[in-house]
Amino acid sequence: MSAVPGGASSDGLDLETVLLCSAAVGLGSVWGGAQVAARLATGRWLDAGAGDAFTALVRLPSSGESPASAWGPEWPGALPGPTLYWGATLAVAAAAITVVVALHRLLTHQRVGTDKRHRLGVDTRSRLARRQDLKPLIVRGPVAGRLILGKVGSSLPVHLPEDPGHRRCPDPALLRPRLPDEP
């Protein structure tokens, strides 16, 4: 993510959007992880809201070994031990991050390492040439005044079109491909 003037980045994200998404993923992961952990441990969903999850999120760093105590005394036996709780929270966080990244890639329509720009109406992103891009350069065989650059596929030589500002080749026979048995 490269910064551009005005606080936005070249991929359309600004600092506020990143912070808001991070906070939503963090709060959602704590709440969702607790829900999944409670469901796996007791068979019931945890009756907690976003406010309870925010309180737990603030308390979790100091009570990481006993995550149930971060949620408070309202849920004494509703949450399991730390292994199941943190495993469920990490699984929910991974799923949430995957969804956020997928949405970002879907909504921005950009390829990695390239910026979508148009100069004089032409897309400036680099890519490999397709056959239709090379069509004006493809000829059936050697042509006087043109230089063979390579082959497309197995048999069609590609020639550089003649530039009227340059000298012509003095001997068109030099452009004729030589066979292995010719001197």
* 86-115 tens-digit pLDDT: 999 999 999 999 999 888 888 776 555 556
Confidence of residue 6 (pLDDT cuts 50, 70, 90): very low
Contacts of residues 143-147 at CB distance under 8 Å and 24 or more positions apart, as own/partner, are: 143/175, 144/168, 144/169, 144/172, 144/175, 145/169, 145/172, 145/175, 146/175, 147/175
* Backbone angle region of 95, left / alpha / beta, with phi > 0 → left and psi within -120 to 50 → alpha: alpha
Specify the pTM.
Answer: 0.55
* 72-87 tens-digit pLDDT: 888 768 899 999 999 9
Rg for the chain, CA atoms, rounded: 32
* 118-156 tens-digit pLDDT: 777 777 777 777 777 777 777 777 777 777 777 766 545
* 35-51 tens-digit pLDDT: 999 999 999 998 899 89
Q: Would you list the domain boundaries of the chain?
A: 15-117, 126-172
- Please give the pLDDT value at position 54: 93
* Backbone angle region of 20, left / alpha / beta, with phi > 0 → left and psi within -120 to 50 → alpha: alpha
